[in-house]
Amino acid sequence: MTADIAEIERAARLLEQGKLVALPTETVYGLGADASNPDAVAGIFAAKGRPSNHPVIVHVARDADLSRWTTHVPREARLLIDAFWPGPLTLILPRAPQVPAAVAGGQDTLGLRCPAHPVAQALLRAFRDGQGGLAAPSANRFGHVSPTTAQHVIDEFGEPGVGPVAAVLDGGHCQVGIESTIVDLSRLESHGPVLLRPGQVSAAQIAEVIGRMPAVPDGAAPRVSGSLDAHYAPTTPVALVDSGELASAMQRLQAAGQTFALISYSENFAAIHGMHLPADPDGYAHGLYASLREMDACHAAVILVERPPQHAAWQGINDRLRRAAFDSAGVLEKLLKG
């Protein structure tokens, strides 16, 4: 099941030829291309249907020489790298002049991440003798739910070698399940560290390492496509419902003759048909995107999601759910009116 070394070597050669390869990371699957090849990077934007001004993260091997990618690694970045790499943390740093502007969506900064998944690390070692970088957004069409299995990637882009993706490396179900935490360290002097996207590495953990809490983004912060209000969304509308109101929402939908799918976590709903996720944030995040995809495939009128706790440990999850539900505001009222 998991890609073997021959498949990884073959994928590295395809990448060196400018082709697209989907790879597993510990967060979600990425759609990788050679970051030093502007045509290959353009292929990512075309395949995803992603606007060209949205920057892509560059993935590097463990102990990579960062001076190839950035002009300045501040002390805070060094501390965070020592604490969390390889792992689900992306750092925004000043872009080195030789890095194609297309990777950064034209910005003068660059997102850098060193993924922990063993298949991703093996691929990064095999690709350009371990000295290269892989530009890799999540391997989904723009705005869709990110993939957490190789099959999800195939569901998005078709069979490898047939559609835009030359190969899909299988690495099993992604352990973390939501995208990396992003911290902007490119404007430290004026803005301090800024949390652009919450993830499994929490703001509190970051503060513990660098001695200050990252700020939330202001209007001058770089644009993050994952921070668009509507994102990570299935085709079926999503409604977030408080635990205490879920039973009555289901009853009323049934009475109105409306179909629904359910994603819950608290014990009260464990016996009801639908997806029941673990009541701890790590377990919940691990299963979230696969559940959204599975419930989307039911073609119900709405996916009801039991609103998770509003505690800091659930910040990344609540952020993704809010965006998944953004375009569906008012859907329950509409369905209940008939």
Under rule CB under 6 A, which residues in 85-104 are in contact with ligand TXA? 90, 92, 104
Name which position in 107, 138, 148, 180 contacts Mg ion (CB under 5 A): 138
**Binding status of residue 57 toward ligand TXA by CB under 6 A:** yes
How many chain residues are in contact with ligand TXA, going by CB under 6 A? 28
Site string for Mg ion, 247-266 (x = CB under 5 A): --------------------
**Binding status of residue 222 toward ligand TXA by CB under 6 A:** yes
**Binding status of residue 56 toward ligand TXA by CB under 6 A:** yes
Task: Report CA dihedral (328, 329, 333, 338) to the nearest 10 degrees.
Answer: -30
**Binding status of residue 27 toward Mg ion by CB under 5 A:** no
Q: 113 touches which of ligand TXA, Mg ion, none (CB within 5 to 8 A by kind)?
A: ligand TXA
Cβ distance to Mg ion smaller for residue 225 or 315: 225
Under rule CB under 5 A, which residues in 172-191 are in contact with Mg ion? none
Fill in the DSSP letter of residue 214. Answer: P
Q: Kind of pairing, strands 260-264 and 302-306? A: parallel
**Binding status of residue 179 toward ligand TXA by CB under 6 A:** yes
Cβ distance to ligand TXA smaller for residue 196 or 324: 196
Smallest distance from the beta carbon of 265 to Mg ion, in angstroms? Answer: 24
302 near 260, Cβ under 8 Å?
yes
Q: What residues have CB less than 8 Å from 80, skipping those under 6 apart?
A: 89, 91, 183, 185, 206, 209, 210
Cβ distance to Mg ion smaller for residue 138 or 180: 138
Name which position in 8, 33, 110, 302 contacts ligand TXA (CB under 6 A): 110
Both tokens assigned to 137: 């957004």
Which residues does residue 275 pair with via DSSP β-bridges, in sequence order? 263
**Binding status of residue 25 toward Mg ion by CB under 5 A:** no
Cβ distance to ligand TXA smaller for residue 102 or 246: 102
H or E, element range at 111: strand 109-113
Rounded to whole angstroms, the Cα distance separating 30 from 313 reads 25
**Binding status of residue 180 toward ligand TXA by CB under 6 A:** yes
**Binding status of residue 203 toward ligand TXA by CB under 6 A:** no
**Binding status of residue 30 toward ligand TXA by CB under 6 A:** yes
**177-198 burial, b if ≥16 CB within 10 A, otherwise e?**
bbbbbbbbbbbbeebebbbbbb
308 near 318, Cβ under 8 Å?
yes
Note the helical H segments in the chain. Answer: 5-16, 38-48, 75-84, 118-126, 150-157, 188-191, 203-210, 243-255, 281-296, 315-325, 331-337
The footprint of Mg ion (CB under 5 A) covers 138
The footprint of ligand TXA (CB under 6 A) covers 25, 27-28, 30, 54-57, 90, 92, 104, 107, 109-111, 113, 115, 136-138, 179-180, 182, 196, 222, 224-226
